[in-house]
Amino acid sequence: MLSYEQKVAFLENYLLTKNDSYSDSIKEDIYFYFFEREVSPDFLNQLNSEKEIEQKIDLVVSKTILHEHEDGLEDIIQHYL
């Protein structure tokens, strides 16, 4: 099981990893939300592995792409994380 600090470090690295796709800009926005605005990523306490963190972020990216015309990223983050 990962410590909270390990989860935060993995989250930061995952959000900064580039895939040369539209999702990169959404991941940058999520990074800004948690690391620049200093909003605590408390949702990590509910996750146990790097895979779970990836899946949760990928879900938010997917929901953002599907619903960005309806909801802002902050609303989607608050709902799914």
Q: Give the residue extent of every domain in the chain.
A: 4-80
Reading the block at residue 12, the tokens are: 């930061």
Question: Which has more confidence, 75 or 28?
Answer: 28
Note the pLDDT tens digit of each residue in 1-16.
899 999 999 999 999 9
Nearest to 76 by CA among 29, 11, 19, 21: 29
Note the pLDDT tens digit of each residue in 30-77.
999 999 998 999 999 999 999 999 999 999 999 888 876 677 778 888
Q: Is the pTM of this model over 0.75?
A: yes
Radius of gyration of the CA atoms of the chain, in A: 12
Query: Rounded to whole angstroms, what are the CA distances from 14 to 9, 27, 39, 71?
Result: 9, 8, 17, 23
pLDDT of residue 68: 65
